[in-house]
Amino acid sequence: MLERRYGLRVAVETYTDPVVACVQMRPDIHLMLLDWEMPVMDGQAVLAEARRRGVNLKRVIISSSHPADELHRVFDASGCLAVIEKAEPEQQAAFMMILDSIMRR
């Protein structure tokens, strides 16, 4: 979706294994999209590892199928850029606005 929307302006790395993603994680990440529920490590554990590795948490967006109020309760104090409920159309619109804003920088 990012490559379709932004073309050559983005370079996307995708990981299906959060452990492998953590090994590859660098502090210069421009944006990390992170699902809350994953096998082996959940989003909270990956976020903690990102913090430990020096990733600016204002460059992390958490997504989940959990309701937005639960996401905010769990992640608001984390310092991440945003939490997005995947299935909610208004949340998806906000997510796209955030991405567009980041790409304008």
Q: Is 7 exposed, middle or buried (0-12, 13-18, 19+ CB in 10 A)?
A: exposed
pLDDT, tens only, 16-69: 899 999 999 999 999 999 998 888 898 899 999 999 999 999 999 999 998 888
* Residue with more model confidence, 98 or 105: 98
Query: For the chain, what's the residue count?
Result: 105
- Burial 77-93, CB ≥16 within 10 A → b, else e: ebebbbbbbeeeeebee
- CATH number of domain containing 33: 3.40.50.2300
Domain holding 91, by residue range, is 2-104
Query: Residue 20: its pLDDT value, please?
Result: 94
Backbone angles phi, psi at 94, to 5 degrees: -65, -40
pLDDT of 105 above 80: no
Number of domains, the chain: 1
User: Could you tell me the pTM of the whole model?
Assistant: 0.87
Residue 102 corresponds to which tokens in the numbers above?
């980041």
